[in-house]
Amino acid sequence: MMIQRKATLEKISPAFGSSIFVKKSTSGNADTKPYWHFHPEIELVYIDKGAGKRHIGNHLTYFNNSQLVLIGSNLPHNGFTDRLTQYGSEILIQFKPDFLGAYFFDTPEMGNIKLLFERAKNGIVFKPETKRRIGKKIQKLNELRGFDRVMLLIKILNKLAEAQDYEILNAEGFVFETEKQDSSKIDSIYKYINQNFQQHITLDEIATQASMTVPAFCRYFKKSTGKTFTRLVNEYRVVHATKLLSESQMIISDIAFECGFNNFSHFNKLFKEVTGKSASKYRKELTTLFVT
């Protein structure tokens, strides 16, 4: 049976003296293959010519044209390009939500951008008009450094916040929500979930991992994520199931058990709650799905 990769926590390191990671890839120098991962940084991707698969949380579509996508913190996703068309390029920008300080985006002037970051938690794809207007500005980011790069990024984010031609990709979304001051603790909990979601994880087990009592852990986790631990683990399993449905030929009942569900009916119920459709309908739609 094909080995399916779990979502990897990606560590992102901007260049020395910079708070923003910017990378340009072309059809000739693309050095990494897409893989299933998440990270606390917000990610903005612009592809001027390309084709491939867009898998963000429980949303999956295919594209054969330019792309402008914004992904919020800790939302699992694949890299977007299975291939870049000839002369095509991809600009990848990654930055932490507080890269300009803990309260910068709480100021009234930054209110639109703060709302944009909230929408991005479910993934946003921007449509042709905004792609045309913003694409060249994004490409220019790769040429700038320091203050000029930061100022241009803020202008780009403000234009994206004002745009009306966009689509939310993952409206019933799945994302790791965290409190800033406890990110290291919550990251260790997510890492444990990522490594063990295919088995039953008891509250005693995860509370011990967090060095807390069960009641204290439950209160902490609900406050930090807005969800119960059981709910979040089950959502994680459903999102992993969407990956298996798209990338393997496994029968759906086997996928359910592979993702840690020991009750097929429970899997079907949760899958529909999270994605809005049954697993069989989700897979069927993938066979005809194509984004022009």
Please report how many Cα atoms fall inside a 13 Å half-sphere around the Cα of residue 138, on the Cβ side: 29
Nearest to 161 by CA among 101, 120, 129: 120
Sequence spans of domains, the chain: 8-168, 180-286
CATH topology of domain 8-168: Jelly Rolls (2.60.120)
Question: What predicted TM-score, i.e. pTM, was given to this entire model?
Answer: 0.60
Confidence of residue 183 (pLDDT cuts 50, 70, 90): low
pLDDT digits (tens, 9 = 90+) for 224-254: 777 889 988 988 888 888 888 877 889 999 9
pLDDT digits (tens, 9 = 90+) for 37-96: 778 889 999 988 777 777 787 777 767 678 899 999 888 877 665 555 556 778 889 998
What sign does the CA torsion over 212, 216, 218, 224 have? Answer: negative
The Cα-based distances of 101 to 18, 19, 74, 98, 160 in angstroms read 14, 11, 19, 5, 21
Confidence of residue 202 (pLDDT cuts 50, 70, 90): very high
Q: What percent of the chain has a predicted confidence (pLDDT) above 90? A: 29
What pLDDT score does 161 carry? 95
Which DSSP string do the residues of 72-136 spell out, in sequence order? -TT--B--S-SBPPTT-EEEEEEE-TTTT-TTGGGSGGGHHHHHHHHHHTT-EEE-HHHHHHHHH
pLDDT digits (tens, 9 = 90+) for 138-159: 989 888 888 999 999 999 999 9
Confidence of residue 180 (pLDDT cuts 50, 70, 90): very low
Confidence of residue 266 (pLDDT cuts 50, 70, 90): very high
Whether the Cβ atoms of residue 20 and residue 95 lie closer than 8 Å to each other: yes
What pLDDT score does 25 carry? 79
Query: If DSSP codes are grouped into helix, strand and coil, which group holds residue 22?
Result: strand
Reply yes or no on whether the pLDDT at 123 is more than 60: yes
What sign does the CA torsion over 248, 251, 253, 254 have? Answer: negative
Query: If DSSP codes are grouped into helix, strand and coil, which group holds residue 138?
Result: helix
* Cα–Cα distance, 75 to 72 (Å, whole number): 6
What pLDDT score does 2 carry? 36
Whether the Cβ atoms of residue 210 and residue 224 lie closer than 8 Å to each other: no
What sign does the CA torsion over 56, 10, 233, 245 have? Answer: positive
Reply yes or no on whether the pLDDT at 10 is more than 50: yes
What pLDDT score does 292 carry? 38
What pLDDT score does 176 carry? 53
Query: If DSSP codes are grouped into helix, strand and coil, which group holds residue 59?
Result: strand
Q: Average pLDDT in the 205-220 region?
A: 91
Mean pLDDT over each residue of the chain, to the nearest integer: 80
What pLDDT score does 26 carry? 73
* Region of poorest pLDDT, from 30-44, 176-190, 201-215: 176-190
- The CATH architecture one would assign to domain 180-286 is Orthogonal Bundle (1.10)
Confidence of residue 34 (pLDDT cuts 50, 70, 90): low
Confidence of residue 181 (pLDDT cuts 50, 70, 90): very low
pLDDT digits (tens, 9 = 90+) for 15-33: 545 688 888 877 655 555 6
What pLDDT score does 191 carry? 81
